Amino acid sequence: MTDDKDVLRDVWFGRIPTCFTLYQDEITEREAEPYYLLLPRISYLTLVTDKVKKHFQKVMRQEDVSEIWFEYEGTPLKWHYPIGLLFDLHASNTALPWSITVHFKNFPEKDLLHCHSKDVIEAHFMACIKEADALKHKSQVINEMQKKDHKQLWMGLQNDKFEQFWAINRKLMEYPPEDNGFRYIPFRIYQATTERPFIQKLFRPIASGGQLHTLGDLLKDVCPSAITPEDGEQKTQVMIHGIEPMLETPIQWLSEHMSYPDNFLHISIIPRPTD
């Protein structure tokens, strides 16, 4: 019987085979070959693509290179979303490898946040963790930690060190023995078709009678169109880390085992493939 802890490893070590191609209008001195890379689902584009940048900069002149940005089929990719979320939301039902286009010019100011250094990624990552703990524990656990513990969470992510990360993160997954779960569940629900980037609301994992709320309960409350079948046929898929968890799964369990390192459950609602 699989241990629950195995799920934590499976989530952490998930990878997406990706092919990076330089945008055709970029100015190069020689032809740019595509670059292949296995991307960690739980990380961020700008954190894991130094090699991609170096590869393409080799065939470009310094003056033609400014801030790197990525795009998939015309959509600028938000580096501040975890890679796995971007893939599930935009490309999960297309053939692998995931084909991403690399740009060094014309940064889309209206769509993307700037990312001039790793500090920006760290600040964003830590802000998410803090917000998640505000929801789970009124910020008590994160505020009790020392700066070096915060640093260890970031270093664990940056260096792909599961044990180092979870040594600290396990504290963020605990709750008082008298409670049966967190105060509220940190989650965000994404749909590529809406202007609103995501839905986020207060949602308790335990009902007033003590029963565990499920993923289905969450969706019914926050995004009913995701699970209400039209004409009896389910037009959408509910995806987390590339899989469709059963709607009966307790949301407390999902929060403890399938959150991203930022401690949020990032859930994609995508069109169900028709074949």
Partner 1 sequence: VSCSMAGEEDFFLEEKRFKQCCEDFVKHSQQIGDGWEWRTSKDLGDGYLSKTHFQVRNRHIPPDLKEKSNDNTEQTLFAHVEEPLDDSQAAGVCSTDDVVRYEYHVLYSSSYQAPVLYFRACFLDGRPLTLDEIWGSVHACYQARLQEGPWDTITQQEHPILGQPFFVLHPCRTNEFISAVLGGSQEHHRHTNYIILWLSTVGPVVGLNLPLSYAKLGPEQSTNAD
Query: Nearer Cβ to partner 1, position 21 or 139?
Result: 139
Compare residues 120 and 243 and give the one whose CB is closer to partner 1: 120
Stretch that binds partner 1, among 43-51, 92-100, 195-203, 235-243 (CB under 8 A): 195-203
Show the CA angle centred on residue 267, arms to residues 71 and 173, nearest 5°.
Answer: 120
Angle, helices 118-137 vs 147-158, to 10°: value is 120
Note whether 103 binds partner 1 by CB under 8 A. Answer: no
By CB under 8 A, tell whether 145 contacts partner 1: no
Q: In the bound complex, what is the minimum distance in angstroms from residue 46's beta carbon to partner 1?
A: 13
Site string for partner 1, 206-225 (x = CB under 8 A): --------------------
Q: Is 109 in the site for partner 1 (CB under 8 A)?
A: yes
Q: Does 131 bind partner 1 (CB under 8 A)?
A: yes
Would strands 69-72 and 75-76 be described as parallel, antiparallel, or unpaired? antiparallel
* Residue 151 contacts partner 1 per CB under 8 A: no
**Of 11-19, 31-39, 131-139, 163-171, which part binds partner 1 (CB under 8 A)?**
131-139
**Beta carbon of residue 55, minimum distance to partner 1 (angstroms, whole number):** 27
- Which listed residue (134, 145, 212, 227) binds partner 1 by CB under 8 A? 134
In angstroms, the CA 154 to CA 160 distance is 10
Identify whether the C-beta of residue 85 lies closer than 8 Å to the C-beta of residue 78.
Answer: no
Question: What's the chain's length in residues?
Answer: 275
Which of 94, 106, 194, 234 forms a contact with partner 1 (CB under 8 A)? Answer: 194
Whether the CA torsion 215, 192, 84, 167 is positive or negative: it is negative
For residue 194, give both structure tokens: 């809406």
Residue 70, both tokens? 């990525």
Q: Check residue 114 for interaction with partner 1 (CB under 8 A).
A: yes
Residue 80 near partner 1 by CB under 8 A: yes
Residues 6+ apart with CB under 8 A from 100: 18, 19, 20, 21, 70, 71, 72, 77
The site that binds partner 1 (CB under 8 A) totals a number of residues, namely 31
- Residue among 38, 123, 192, 207 that touches partner 1 (CB under 8 A): 123
CB of 135 to partner 1, least distance (A): 5
Strands 15-22 and 35-40: antiparallel
Between CA 138 and CA 127 the distance in angstroms is 14
Based on the shown chain and the rule CB under 8 A, indicate whether residue 120 belongs to the binding site for partner 1. Answer: yes
Under the binding rule (CB under 8 A), the answer on residue 30 touching partner 1 is no
176: amino acid identity, one letter: P
Name residues contacting partner 1, limited to 237-256 (CB under 8 A).
none
Residue 218 identity (one-letter amino acid): L
- Identify the CA nearest to 22 among candidates 39, 34, 14, 13: 34
Amino acid code (one letter) for 191: Q
State the residues that interact with partner 1 by CB under 8 A: 78, 80, 109-114, 116, 119-120, 122-124, 127, 130-131, 134-135, 138-139, 186, 194-202
